[in-house]
Structure 1
Amino acid sequence: MKAEQMEDAETQNQVAGDVIGDTAYSERFVLKILLKLANLDTLKEDIKEKSFEDDICILWDMTTEKDVVLFLQKHEVLKLINFALPVIETSRIVEIFIGIIGNMCCQKEVVNVLMKMDDLLAILMCYINTDDSLVLVQLLRLVSSCLFLANDEEIETWMNLFATVEYSSALYFILKNSSHKDLLVTALENLNTLCSYCNTEKFRTKFYSHFVVEEALDCLTAAFTEITVNRKATCSKSKLERVQIVSLQIVLNFVGFENSLEMYESSKDNVTTLINIILRYYEEKLIVNKEIDSDLIDILVSTNTIVDALKITGSPENYFEPTYNMWNATSSIMKTDKDGSSFEENDKEELKDFIAKVRNPLAMLMCYYLANITEDNFYKVFEVVETIYEEVASWVNDEPLETNMSQRVTNYRTRPKD
């Protein structure tokens, strides 16, 4: 073998021995960063260098790879970050390190280790009171990632941490006051995660005592309105729909307690606005854009639960009108091929299945409204829907609601004529 070939082979072997797992990333690159973190005497100067920020940004990207995460864990990077964070005063560097931990917490092994590091958890949770939006985004992501993989013992730890740092107050302050779109979206996702993993039978009492407060729904709807109305033009379709679904899920969680009606009486108008925005969006999607979206079924089911829990009626424009319009759209699709031809991208069986599933919650929502509005308003609204009432009523499967509606309709039809 020629000298040049031997040198190339040696270089290739060195490169192959330097990579992390099955990735193309360099062990030496990572170890160089870890050595800097380990030396607190020089770290303060290192973090002032642009090259240091660039390197840890690359490391942040690298932590989407499991092999890199396990390599970092092998070298106890959480301990190094724990020692380093107290001396770091630059928000950008703090953001990156919390982001790195957040990415690493997508692996259960890392969550297990982190949950035993009381000092690091305490340091991290203190950042909930920072005014830096980007740091908050990463912290909320980290908390959500940990909750996804947490067992009961770890959730207990989180609930205690939340109480210690008054996490709910900070989270609700963000939702109510921030205008940073990414932070608001992340905060909504975080609150939804809290509802999913902490509002369970075992932790329901603690969840209630810490998170279920009078201002909760007002803060939620403030964030929802900021994103879906004020920042709508900057949101992708998928993000906008995700925010709508998540927000409705959160409301559903908060109205599921015995005293919800009393606690959230002053929030009914805001919740009604939220429902109206969501239903109007899906009304346009179905009627104007001719799009079949199965999410509408769950949205209507959730809306039924919410309006019943909070006893919401109000103006027919709030939720009766869009519901009525969507009902008529489903009727048109069922009756004529012509009306359904715009849905040609959907299989006919899929259309039939969608209509069969969506008509019950549509009917329930319309009838709930009719059963609970004032007598004068009932007469005005029923005149509009009288021709389809029997068909709508046939889809209602709630006996008390059926009885109430039947009595009101009988009274209407037998009333003395002027």
Structure 2
Amino acid sequence: MKPEESNGKGEEVDNPAPVTGDVIGDTAYSERFVLKILLKLANKDTLKDEIQEKSFEDDLCTLWDMTAERDVVLFLLKHDVLSLFNFALPDIESPRFIEIIIGIVGNMCCQKEAVATLLKMDSFLTSLLEYMKSDDSLILIQVLRLVSSSLFIASEDDLLIWLTLFKSVDYSNALYFMLKNSSHKELLVTALENFNTVTSYCNIEKFRLQFFTHFVTPEAMESLSTAFTEVTTSHKDACEKEELERIFDITLQLTLNLVGFDKSPEIYEGSKQDAVKIITNVLCYYENKLVDQKEIDTDVVDIIDSTNTVVHILKLSEICDPDKYCSPSYNMWKTLKSITKSNKNGCSFEEDDIDDLEDFVIKMKCPLSTLICNYLAKCSENNLLKVLDEIGSDYEEIFSLVTDEEIRDNVSKRAANYTTRLKDNVDS
């Protein structure tokens, strides 16, 4: 994982040209250049003076860039660089240099040999994870990237080591604190990605209990919702479309994972509004994309399915008004219905293959119908009446597309009291 900037000022730093016989593996990088940096790090008598020199910072940033190359990482491991960092880091107080060194280690952790070495260095790895409690956003970003890179290539045995370490340094609380309290866009995005990586790799059957014990806490949902809202609202204009939709996707997936335990409804009883905020934000975005922008996005099918699960587990229909997720769902449903009609006279949606478009409509209408009926099954009597008035003559088709028998029974019983009203709406 290469750093986004090489010297802290957005300036590229040239790598000194190696002489003949002075190259690292198949790269064009100089062995002598790297060894010169390592010697400076090893000399504690002069290290504090070196840190004051801009040229030393530039050289370390160049090394940071170089560690994107596998041969450079293997060369550094050959010269026991992790032990050298462990030796030098306690004497370094500069946040910038701490960021660079952790960034170098994070880049190295894209290679399995580096991770294997690091996992044998308990005290050093623990000291790196302790930087999760730093108040420097750039240091935190590099710690998060280091952990994510390591988990990408972790074996099951490695995962147990990581989960034990997470518990020992109170990793989840540190992660949730930064999600809840930071306004730094890159840090929040990196933290959300890290949380998603931890969940994806550690929340597996073999370690489900360890994951649940450490990560599934009341603070998790609130922190997730706060960070999600900060990124998608305060920093929305700074996000590329692809990045923004990635945040929507992983946040909803994280919500789904957090509520997927037997005790989750109890744990998140006081966090239902946080889950509602996430769902509303996501659905309103995709409602706008489909209804107003006329864009087809096949990923929305999975998003609606995930939303249905979260709504059902946390019983969110009981605590929110229709505009939170029922009305956006119905607006999308109506648009899908209009696509079917407009295909006969020319469709306004940008889709070359009419068959693919019709397939999308079919796949979307069923989960949307379930989501609407999920709401009807548990909402207040007043809101039930509002929604039945809103959907009117579409009720029968929506109801017919729901396959969940429990939802069908509940909705059928509740709607039976309003059949006359529905009939009047159809007649009018």
Q: Same fold (TM over 0.5)?
A: yes
Q: Which structure 1 segments of 5+ residues have no match?
A: 1-12
Counterpart check, 1:22 vs 2:26: yes
Asked if 2 retains the 8 angstrom alpha-carbon contact of 1:333 and 1:340, the reply is no
CA distance in 2, matches of 1:307, 1:130: 36
- Aligned residue-pair number: 406
Partner of 2:153: 149
Partner of 1:192: 196
CA distance in 2, matches of 1:275, 1:140: 26
Over 4 Å off, 4+ runs: 414-418
* Amino acid across the alignment from 1:187: A
Q: Which structure 2 segments of 5+ residues have no match?
A: 1-16
* Amino acid across the alignment from 1:207: F
Counterpart check, 1:38 vs 2:59: no
CA distance in 2, matches of 1:161, 1:340: 59
Partner of 1:168: 172
* Amino acid across the alignment from 1:22: D
SS in 2 for 1:18: coil
Counterpart check, 1:292 vs 2:296: yes
CA distance in 2, matches of 1:269, 1:374: 16
Comparing 242-251 with 371-380, greater Cα deviation is found at 371-380
Asked if 1 retains the 8 angstrom alpha-carbon contact of 2:373 and 2:407, the reply is yes
Which of 98, 122, 135 in structure 2 is aligned with 1:118?
A: 122
Comparing 178-187 with 64-73, greater Cα deviation is found at 64-73
Q: CA RMSD in A?
A: 2.0
CA distance in 2, matches of 1:417, 1:58: 73
Please report how far the alpha carbon of residue 339 of structure 1 lies from its aligned counterpart in structure 2 after TM superposition. Answer: 7.7
Q: Give TM-score scaled by structure 1 length.
A: 0.93
Asked if 2 retains the 8 angstrom alpha-carbon contact of 1:99 and 1:142, the reply is yes
Asked if 2 retains the 8 angstrom alpha-carbon contact of 1:155 and 1:198, the reply is yes
Counterpart check, 1:49 vs 2:22: no
* Amino acid across the alignment from 1:221: S
Please report how far the alpha carbon of residue 195 of structure 1 lies from its aligned counterpart in structure 2 after TM superposition. Answer: 1.1
Which of 350, 353, 360 in structure 2 is aligned with 1:354?
A: 360
Q: Give TM-score scaled by structure 2 length.
A: 0.90
Q: 1:325 to 1:14 in 2, by over 3 A?
A: closer
Which of 220, 223, 233 in structure 2 is aligned with 1:229?
A: 233
Counterpart check, 1:252 vs 2:256: yes
Comparing 351-360 with 339-348, greater Cα deviation is found at 339-348
Identity, in percent, stands at 57
Which of 341, 353, 375 in structure 2 is aligned with 1:369?
A: 375
Q: 1:312 to 1:28 in 2, by over 3 A?
A: same
Partner of 1:403: 409
SS in 1 for 2:46: helix
Partner of 2:307: 303
Please report how far the alpha carbon of residue 355 of structure 1 lies from its aligned counterpart in structure 2 after TM superposition. Answer: 1.7
Which of 321, 329, 339 in structure 2 is aligned with 1:333?
A: 339
Please report how far the alpha carbon of residue 105 of structure 1 lies from its aligned counterpart in structure 2 after TM superposition. Answer: 0.7
CA offsets per residue over residues 117-148 of structure 1, 9 Å max, x none? 11210210111111111000000110111111
Asked if 1 retains the 8 angstrom alpha-carbon contact of 2:18 and 2:30, the reply is no
* Amino acid across the alignment from 1:401: I
Comparing 375-384 with 109-118, greater Cα deviation is found at 375-384
Asked if 2 retains the 8 angstrom alpha-carbon contact of 1:19 and 1:26, the reply is yes
Which of 58, 61, 68 in structure 2 is aligned with 1:64?
A: 68
SS in 2 for 1:258: coil
CA offsets per residue over residues 234-271 of structure 1, 9 Å max, x none? 22111111111111111111111112222212111121
Q: 1:74 to 1:345 in 2, by over 3 A?
A: farther
CA distance in 1, matches of 2:345, 2:76: 59
Partner of 2:391: 385
CA distance in 2, matches of 1:105, 1:123: 16
Which of 111, 118, 139 in structure 2 is aligned with 1:107?
A: 111
CA distance in 2, matches of 1:347, 1:16: 58
Partner of 1:8: none
* Amino acid across the alignment from 1:100: I
Which of 87, 90, 95 in structure 1 is aligned with 2:91?
A: 87
CA distance in 2, matches of 1:351, 1:30: 56
Comparing 273-282 with 336-345, greater Cα deviation is found at 336-345
Q: 1:307 to 1:76 in 2, by over 3 A?
A: same
Partner of 2:8: none
CA distance in 2, matches of 1:315, 1:14: 67
Q: 1:38 to 1:90 in 2, by over 3 A?
A: same
